[in-house]
Amino acid sequence: MAKTDLFQSPDYYQIDELLTDEHKLVRNSVREWVKREVSPIIEEYAQRAEFPKHLIKGLAEIGAFGPYIPQEYGGGGLDQISYGLIMQEIERGDSGIRSTASVQSSLVMYPIYTYGSDEQRKKYLPKLATGEWMGCFGLTEPNFGSNPGGMLTNIKDKGDHVVLNGSKMWISNAPFADIAVVWAKDEEGVIRGLIVERGMKGFSTPETHGKWSLRASATGELVFDNVKVPKENILPNVKGLKGPLGCLNSARYGIAWGAIGAAMDCYDTALRYSKERIQFGKPIGAFQLQQKKLAEMITEITKAQLLAWRLGVLKNENRATPQQISMAKRNNVNMALEITRDARQMLGGMGITGEYPIMRHMMNLESVITYEGTHDIHLLITGMDVTGLNAFGG
């Protein structure tokens, strides 16, 4: 039988006082929803390596799809801190479910809203907001991950349409997506974004199996074999790598919040366990070695919360730089991953089982620390920002 989710969120610095009543209402609603809908089933789906598709409708209703997209296009019209809090709460449940929401919001709705024509916005955004259509984002290729500018996927101009060839790898939501926002080079080598629809001839999305991470999220390839894409499916208002990078900024921002959710869940689990588990006649929480872990966890979570909140304020004012976002993504995901490892040890043998969420979070975060710019790449971004010197090579 599914266990009751006893989660209580830590707020060591009364950061709640920095939030508006509406922020708290949004957050608490998503938290309730996760407790009711995600926690009871997620372990089973992760064990089976299956995406719980039935959650899509609920995700849409609680506002996980395009919360900051204006209401006239079906979005929530909320601010960036609300978006962050939604991601935090969903990832508290599972990074895979958060990934689906991130992709739909920041990598599919965001580019259509920001770079799309008004016809494209009207055609796609309302259906994406309700989850009637799901989207995916194709940037990474088998030979171009950290260096997406080298991509080989390409389009050739054929008058009223273009012909798309190439392949994308590691694409979240690909196996069930109705549309894909795909980045490809035109004949001049300029990166363009286009909306590819399921059913277009020559377009297929084989699923990637055997993952030990994000098992409750579906990942796949996008294969384009002479796919005819009408020209009205090209995103008119962006050219070059700044197109996909703009999307990644938005998604990375959400991940900086999301990771806090995973960390809080592990901390909360370990804290509760440490008070209940008796060894040598005492609760293990009474031992200094275990207290060190808990004290460091709550310290790191508190720092990460403040970082995310401040970044949210800057983002609301349109002042957050990509480099600031990199710092938060890198710091917070790494913080979360380290907490999962300490928390797992605190639970001893129980920590490796699906009875507790920790091992699942830990494995999930191995993807989170890699996608949307690896841990190393974000460090290079900060390094370049402070020195003015490029250490990426190439």
Partner 1 sequence: MKVLVCISSVPDTTTKINFTPDNKSFVTQGVQFIINPYDEIALTRALELTEKDGGTVTVINVGDATTEPVIRKALAVGATDAVRVNAGPRDAFFVARQIAGYASNQNFDLILCGRESIDYNGAQVPAMIAELLGIPSVSVCKKLEIAGKTAIAEREIEGGKEIVECPLPMVVSASEGMAEPRIPNMRGIMSARTKPLAVVEPVDTPKNIEVIIYDKPKPRSEVKLIAPDKVEELVDLLHTQARVI
Ligand X SMILES: Cc1cc2nc3c(=O)[nH]c(=O)nc-3n(C[C@H](O)[C@H](O)[C@H](O)COP(=O)(O)OP(=O)(O)OC[C@H]3O[C@@H](n4cnc5c(N)ncnc54)[C@H](O)[C@@H]3O)c2cc1C
Active site residues: 372
CB 83 within 8 A of CB 109: no
Binding mask 144-163 for ligand X (x = CB under 6 A): -xx-----------------
Local structure of 165: helix, strand or coil = strand
Asked if 131 is part of the footprint of partner 1 (rule: CB under 8 A), the reply reads no
Q: What CA–CA distance (Å, rounded) separates 220 from 172?
A: 6
Query: What is the nearest approach in angstroms of partner 1 to the Cβ of residue 24?
Result: 7
Picked from partner 1, ligand X, none, the partner binding residue 236 (CB below 5 to 8 A depending on kind) is none
Which amino acid makes up residue 2?
A
Query: Which amino acid is residue 152, in one-letter code?
Result: L
Of the listed pieces 76-84, 112-120, 233-241, 336-344, which binds partner 1 according to CB under 8 A? 76-84
How many beta carbons lie within 10 A of that of residue 81, not counting itself?
A: 24
Confirm or reject binding of residue 387 to partner 1 (CB under 8 A). Answer: no
26 binds, among partner 1, ligand X, none (CB under 5 to 8 A by kind): partner 1
Distance between CA atoms of 58 and 182, rounded to whole angstroms?
Answer: 27
Quickly count: other Cβ atoms within 10 Å of residue 238's Cβ.
20
Q: Which of 3, 24, 53, 282 binds partner 1 (CB under 8 A)?
A: 24
Is 29 a binder of partner 1 (CB under 8 A)? yes
What phi and psi values does residue 157 have, to the nearest 5 degrees?
-70, 125
Centroid of chain to Cα 279: 39
Residue 210 lies near ligand X (rule: CB under 6 A): no
Q: Which of residues 124-143 bind ligand X (CB under 6 A)?
A: 136-140
User: Can residue 326 be called a binding residue for ligand X (CB under 6 A)?
Assistant: no
Please give the structure tokens belonging to residue 206.
């084989």
Among 4, 14, 318, 387, indicate the residue that binds partner 1 (CB under 8 A). 14
**Percent helix, strand and coil across the chain, each rounded to 5?**
55, 15, 30
Candidates 5, 63, 65; CA nearest to 39 is 5
* 285: partner contacted, choices ligand X, partner 1, none (Cβ within 5-8 A by kind): none
26, 38, 56, 347: which one binds partner 1 (CB under 8 A): 26
Counted residue by residue, the chain has a size of 394
Total site size for partner 1, rule CB under 8 A: 21
Cβ proximity to ligand X: between 244 and 312 the closer is 244
User: Which stretches of the chain bind ligand X, using CB under 6 A?
Assistant: 103, 136-140, 145-146, 170-172, 214, 219, 367, 370-372, 374, 376-377, 380, 392-393
